[in-house]
Amino acid sequence: MRYGTTMTTAAILMALVAAAPLTAGAADTADKAKEKAQTTTQEAKTMVTDSWVTSKTKISLFADERVKGTQVSVDTTKGVVHLRGKVDSAEAKSAAGEITQGVEGVKSVKNDLQVVAPAARKAVDASDSDIAKAVGTRLSKNTQLKKVDVRTDAGVVTLTGQVPSIGASAKASEMARGVPGVKSVKNELTFTR
């Protein structure tokens, strides 16, 4: 029996020796998988969504006394924050840009804030709403431009939405520019090819 036990022991040892590289390989693979999972988890923790950046920017603007947060519209796309609206002074516009740049997750800031003195704001607001209505009415008469959104700040009309072609996009700019009181047109329309 001793011979059989020796043979069995030798077979077990050989099996362990043969399996050792496989076990080591599995351990390496497990370590690599664990490392990758930790890296992915860390990336997910540091990744900040556009809606989070927008919310955090609004909170920061409301918290700073140099800027009236209610005057600023904030949109974020892929970490690029777009500020729109009317502020009382150049200092407020500059402060809004600085505050926004300091928010975690902000890659860049597009500061399109208009400086309008409080005394002139009422006249500008009234004419802005009239301009937006006039542009919207004009665009709604064209079947390709019915879904275009119109926003006006200090006579600057911004067109957003989707149109069927680049020609329709150009037509929207042309029609908007023809409305009395429009100083310029920012065409942010997208189109399908």
pLDDT recorded at residue 46? 47
- pLDDT tens per residue across span 140-166: 999 999 889 999 988 889 999 999 988
Q: How confident is the model at residue 132 (pLDDT cuts 50, 70, 90)?
A: very high
Sheet strands (E) in the chain: 72-77, 80-87, 108-115, 149-153, 156-163, 184-191
pLDDT recorded at residue 50? 87
Q: Which residue has the higher pLDDT, 134 or 122?
A: 134
**The tokens of 1 are what?**
């029996």
pLDDT recorded at residue 126? 62
For residues 168-173, give the mean pLDDT: 89
Percent of the chain with pLDDT over 70: 73
For residues 33-38, give the mean pLDDT: 70
Query: Is the pLDDT score of 72 beyond 90?
Result: no
DSSP assignments along 20-50, one per residue: HHHHHHHHHHHHHHHHHHHHHHHHHHH---H
- With tokens 């690599």, the residue in question is 32
Which are the contacts of 108, defined by CB distance < 8 A and separation ≥ 6? 79, 80, 81
**The tokens of 3 are what?**
């011979």
Q: How confident is the model at residue 136 (pLDDT cuts 50, 70, 90)?
A: very high
- Give the span between the Cα atoms of 97 and 78, in whole angstroms: 17
- pLDDT tens per residue across span 45-60: 445 688 889 888 988 8
- Give the span between the Cα atoms of 109 and 161, in whole angstroms: 21
Instruction: Record the pTM.
Output: 0.48
For residues 26-50, give the mean pLDDT: 65
- Give the span between the Cα atoms of 146 and 140, in whole angstroms: 4
Identify residue 164 by its one-letter amino acid code.
P
Q: What is the DSSP letter of 68?
A: -
pLDDT recorded at residue 118? 74
Per-residue exposure over 4-18, b if at least 16 CB sit within 10 Å of its own CB, e if not = eeeeeeeeeeeeeee
- pLDDT tens per residue across span 98-114: 999 999 999 999 999 98
Bridge pairing between strands 156-163 and 108-115: unpaired
